[in-house]
């Protein structure tokens, strides 16, 4: 279930944005130039008298006259004014010479096409739409994808098998602002290395965006206060003065400088970013007391690149699928920074998990790790706190008083939620975010990059192809109504109630039983949205149900049993508490029974529970046929498909 990135526009020669035309195609052996063969066909398709010999050039002319990329022997004979038998024999000679290929198809007995065209179809092709700042690449090489990932956002992919996919990239403002180059010339050189020719309009837009990204900066004055500096007097007057509120600035210093209220630094950066001018942060922030920590785990090549890129800019968001090692890369970043570190997480379970990861991958002294949440209040050189606690007024002053060398925002999409947003105002010399996909349905992805830093990471598909992460098999299964009472209840309901009835379709329990039986050797997670539905499924299957209401101690014990550390629990029913961050490395099967009205990010996270470096990865999404769940399932899974994950669909029998 993927969208064609090119759409009808990609092949529409009338589209003013389309830069690839027939004249751009490299055809060195006769090509498709009608002038080369000296043979024409008039508009009425009149036959042209030629001798019985057939050259590759004349075959090209027949195709052009036919206005098709392939032709039957009878069509070639008609266009070149010879008999069908003679044309068939001549085409057979061209096939023997390797100049033409033949193909049996359903609509024609046999069609022929130039061999060179078949080779062209398997090559990388790049089509540029400069006015929309979009690039469509069919069968891209690793080189092309690596270059494009430096300055463009992967929007969508099509195709099913690695090596045959098409990719749609879009160059956005924030991509240019965060591009890892010394200057605009280096960025343009990288762009030119992958495009078929130069596009002056696109290059000028990129240069303009690069200039915008280097027009404002924050620095620490020698008297230890924060200064906003503009590149010109007009920028300070026409941009900063117009977009900054009175509480953001204490007083002007000069025509190009202003004294910034230190408590409003995050707001200043956000306001100017929204105005189209990201701010360079060159403040002399402390790194706190040094932390004695060394990494004991070898990094994968792409993880090393993430860390190097981050250290150059001192901010950024590691974006990659579950299982790609974002936590290990973050720990390597902590070791490289070597200063006091605050790690913010959405739950107590994740806090404990982070502590174990630090002990597993570093030489850090356990006494130097503190947990700060509802069950513990410890400040240490490395402190792991929940967003909710760190954002509370009664704890906030404690976190503000520390000189953090690094703040790490795990599952950083939480930063823009109102209850957690105050944590983004905590200041540190380095700011790192982690997320499988930072998108929020509120459209606040850009705000995440403003508050923390630009995206850093490989596209999911590259990690699948390289074998670092096992690509999940995702299947949407459309479940029918088998209970007439439930069907009638759905028909008479509306709004949220209708959505709930579809989610709790009783036929889903039977389908879950079938899937668990079909994969009886695999550890399974069953995701639900509504607590009553979770209780019903758990009771029917005779397995535990974990929700936000499950006591922390019981929850920890059940996860331990599922991991095989203490007991042998094969199946868990989980609510949203299982969506984020819980490390269940032996989860091989995920069944999304309900919750399809949730976000695209939630769909990615639930699919991601099975993404691991080795072993099978299966995700079944159950949607009630004929309900709004069909659309929700397709929307959620389309987001995965755009990242290179294959998605198939199945109608469950009545």
pLDDT (average), residues 270-297: 82
Beta-bridge partners for 489: none
Report the distance separating Cα 138 and Cα 645, nearest Å: 17
Give the confidence band of 359 by pLDDT, cuts at 50, 70, 90. very high
Query: Measured between alpha carbons, how far is 315 from 197 in angstroms, rounded to an integer?
Result: 34
Residue 582 is predicted with a pLDDT of: 55
Question: In whole angstroms, what is the distance from residue 384 CA to residue 341 CA?
Answer: 8
pTM of the predicted structure, to 2 decimals:
0.54
How would residue 105 be classed by pLDDT, with cut points 50, 70 and 90?
A: low
**CA dist 482 to 479, 497, 500, 533, Å?**
9, 19, 17, 17
Half-sphere exposure of residue 75: CA atoms within 13 angstroms, side-chain side: 20
- Write out pLDDT tens, residues 15-26: 333 333 333 333
Query: What is the Cα–Cα distance from 321 to 140, expressed in whole angstroms?
Result: 21
Read off φ and ψ for residue 99, nearest 5 degrees.
Answer: -85, -25
Measured distance CA(218)–CA(117) in Å, rounded: 56
Instruction: Report the mean per-residue pLDDT for the chain.
Output: 76
377 with 394: CB under 8 angstroms? Answer: no
Provide, rounded to the nearest whole percent, the portion of the chain with pLDDT above 90: 19
Which element (helix H / strand E) includes 269? helix 265-274
Mean pLDDT of 84-101: 85
pLDDT at position 27 over 80? no
For residue 523, count other CB atoms closer than 10 A to its CB.
21
Give the pLDDT of residue 368.
Answer: 92
| Mean pLDDT, residues 61-80 | 80
What is d(CA 149, CA 160) in angstroms, rounded to the nearest whole number? 21
518 by Cβ neighbours in 10 Å (0-12 / 13-18 / 19+) ranks as exposed
> Which of 492, 512, 470, 458 has its CA nearest to residue 652?
512
If DSSP codes are grouped into helix, strand and coil, which group holds residue 503? helix
Residue 162 has pLDDT above 50, yes or no: no
Find out whether 267 and 248 touch, Cβ atoms under 8 Å: yes
Residue 364 has pLDDT above 70, yes or no: yes
Half-sphere exposure of 334 (CA within 13 A, CB side): 33
pLDDT in tens, 436-483: 765 443 345 666 776 787 778 755 656 655 555 556 678 889 999 988
Q: Are 645 and 610 in contact (CB under 8 A)?
A: no
Cα separation, 404 vs 452, in Å, equals 14
Is it the case that residue 44 has pLDDT exceeding 50? no
Q: Which of 302, 209, 220 is nearest to 257 (CA)?
A: 220
pLDDT of residue 53: 59
What count of other Cβ atoms lies within 10 Å of the Cβ of residue 116? 20
Residue in 393, 392, 371, 389 with CA at minimum distance from that of residue 380: 371
What pLDDT does 26 receive?
36
**Range of 100-104, 424-428, 531-535, 559-563 with top mean pLDDT:** 531-535
pLDDT in tens, 405-432: 899 999 887 776 654 555 555 667 788 9
**Residue from 50, 59, 52, 49 nearest 97 by CA:** 59
Give tens-digit pLDDT for 210-221: 988 888 988 888
pLDDT of residue 301 exceeding 60: yes
Q: What is the DSSP string of 537-578?
A: HHHHHT--EE-TTS-HHHHHHHHHHHHTSSS---EEEE-GGG
| pLDDT tens digits along 488-521 | 998 888 878 888 899 999 999 999 999 999 998 8
- Cα–Cα separations (whole angstroms), residue 358 to 202, 276, 649: 45, 38, 41
- Considering only 27-41, 339-353, 362-376, 384-398, which range has the smallest mean pLDDT? 27-41
d(CA 238, CA 332): 42
Strands 257-260 and 249-252: antiparallel
- Two tokens at 159? 């195709």
Which is more confidently placed, 157 or 225? 225
pLDDT bin (cut points 50, 70, 90) of residue 365 is: very high
**pLDDT confidence of residue 120:** 56
Distance of CA 18 to the CA centre of its chain: 26
Domains of the chain with CATH codes: 20-120 (1.10.10.10), 130-212 (no CATH), 216-277 (3.30.70), 308-461 (3.40.50.300), 470-651 (3.40.50.300)
DSSP H helices, 277-366, are: 301-313, 326-337, 348-361
Q: Would you tell me the crossing angle of helices 73-80 and 56-66 to the nearest 10 degrees?
A: 90
Q: Which residues pair with 571 in a beta bridge?
A: 524
Instruction: Classify 383 as helix, strand or coil.
Output: strand
At residue 645 the predicted structure's pLDDT band, cuts being 50, 70 and 90, is low
Question: For the packed helices 495-503 and 628-641, what is the interaxial angle rounded to 10 degrees?
Answer: 70
| C-alpha closest to that of 597 among 505, 507, 529 | 529
Nearest-10 crossing angle of helices 531-541, 507-518: 50
Residues 320/257, Cβ–Cβ less than 8 Å: no
β-pairing, 382-386 vs 315-319, is unpaired
Cα four-point dihedral sign 574, 576, 580, 582: negative
Three-state SS letters, 13-74: CCCCCCCCCHHHCCCCCCCCCHHHHCCCCCCCCCCCCCCCCCCHHHHHHHHHHHCCCCECHH
The 3-state DSSP class for residue 513 equals helix
- Alpha-carbon distance of 579 to 595, in angstroms, equals 11
């Amino acid at each position: 279930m993927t969208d064609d990135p090119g759409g009808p526009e990609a092949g529409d020669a009338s589209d003013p944005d389309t830069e690839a035309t027939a004249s751009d195609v490299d055809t060195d052996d006769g090509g498709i130039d009608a002038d080369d063969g000296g043979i024409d066909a008039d508009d009425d398709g009149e036959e042209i008298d030629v001798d019985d010999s057939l050259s590759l050039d004349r075959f090209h002319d027949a195709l052009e006259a036919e206005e098709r990329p392939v032709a039957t022997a009878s069509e070639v004979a008609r266009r070149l004014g010879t008999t069908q038998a003679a044309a068939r024999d001549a085409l057979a000679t061209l096939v023997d010479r390797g100049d033409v290929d033949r193909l049996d198809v359903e609509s024609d007995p046999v069609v022929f096409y130039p061999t060179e065209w078949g080779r062209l179809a398997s090559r990388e092709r790049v089509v540029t739409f400069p006015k929309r700042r979009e690039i469509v690449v069919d069968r891209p090489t690793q080189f092309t994808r690596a270059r494009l990932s430096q300055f463009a956002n992967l929007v969508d992919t099509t195709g099913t098998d690695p090596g045959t996919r098409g990719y749609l990239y879009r160059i956005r403002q924030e991509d240019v602002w965060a591009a890892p180059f010394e200057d605009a010339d280096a960025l343009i050189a990288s762009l030119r290395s992958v495009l078929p020719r130069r596009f002056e309009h696109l290059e000028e837009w990129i240069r303009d965006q690069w200039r915008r990204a280097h027009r404002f900066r924050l620095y620490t004055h020698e008297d230890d206060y924060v200064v906003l500096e503009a590149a010109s007097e007009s920028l300070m007057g026409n941009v900063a003065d117009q977009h900054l509120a009175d509480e953001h600035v204490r007083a002007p210093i000069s025509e190009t400088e202003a004294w910034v209220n230190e408590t409003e630094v995050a707001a200043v950066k956000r306001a100017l970013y929204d105005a189209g001018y990201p701010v360079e942060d060159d403040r002399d922030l402390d790194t706190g007391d040094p932390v004695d920590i060394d990494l004991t785990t070898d990094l994968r090549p792409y993880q090393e690149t993430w860390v190097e890129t981050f250290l150059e800019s001192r901010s950024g968001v590691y974006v990659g699928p579950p299982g790609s090692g974002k936590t290990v890369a973050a720990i390597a970043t902590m070791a490289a920074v070597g200063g006091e570190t605050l790690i913010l997480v959405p739950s107590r379970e994740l806090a404990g998990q982070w502590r174990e990861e630090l002990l597993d991958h570093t030489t850090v002294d356990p006494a130097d790790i503190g947990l700060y949440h509802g069950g513990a209040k410890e400040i240490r050189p490395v402190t792991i706190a929940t967003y909710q606690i760190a954002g509370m007024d009664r704890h906030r002053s404690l976190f503000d008083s520390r000189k953090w060398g690094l703040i790490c925002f795990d599952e950083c999409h939480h930063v823009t939620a109102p209850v957690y947003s105050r944590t983004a105002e905590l200041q540190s010399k380095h700011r790192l975010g982690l997320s499988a996909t930072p998108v929020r349905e509120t459209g606040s992805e850009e705000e995440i990059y403003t508050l923390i830093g630009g995206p850093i990471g490989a596209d999911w598909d590259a990690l699948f192809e390289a074998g670092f992460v096992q690509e999940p098999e995702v299947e949407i299964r459309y479940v029918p109504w088998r209970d007439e009472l439930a069907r009638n209840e759905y028909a008479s309901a509306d709004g949220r109630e209708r959505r709930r009835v579809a989610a709790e379709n009783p036929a889903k329990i039977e389908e879950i039983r079938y899937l668990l039986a079909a994969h009886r050797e695999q550890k399974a997670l069953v995701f639900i949205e509504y607590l009553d539905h979770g209780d019903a499924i758990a009771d029917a299957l005779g397995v535990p149900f974990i929700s936000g209401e499950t006591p922390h101690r019981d929850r920890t014990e059940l996860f331990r049993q599922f991991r095989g550390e203490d007991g042998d629990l094969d199946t868990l029913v989980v609510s949203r508490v299982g969506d984020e961050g819980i490390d269940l490395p032996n989860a091989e099967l995920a069944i999304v029974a309900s919750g399809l009205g949730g976000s695209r990010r939630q769909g990615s996270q639930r699919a991601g529970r099975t993404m691991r470096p080795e072993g099978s990865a299966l995700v079944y999404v159950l949607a009630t046929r004929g309900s709004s769940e069909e659309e929700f399932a397709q929307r959620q899974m389309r987001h995965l498909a755009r990242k290179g994950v294959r998605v198939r669909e199945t109608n469950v029998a009545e």
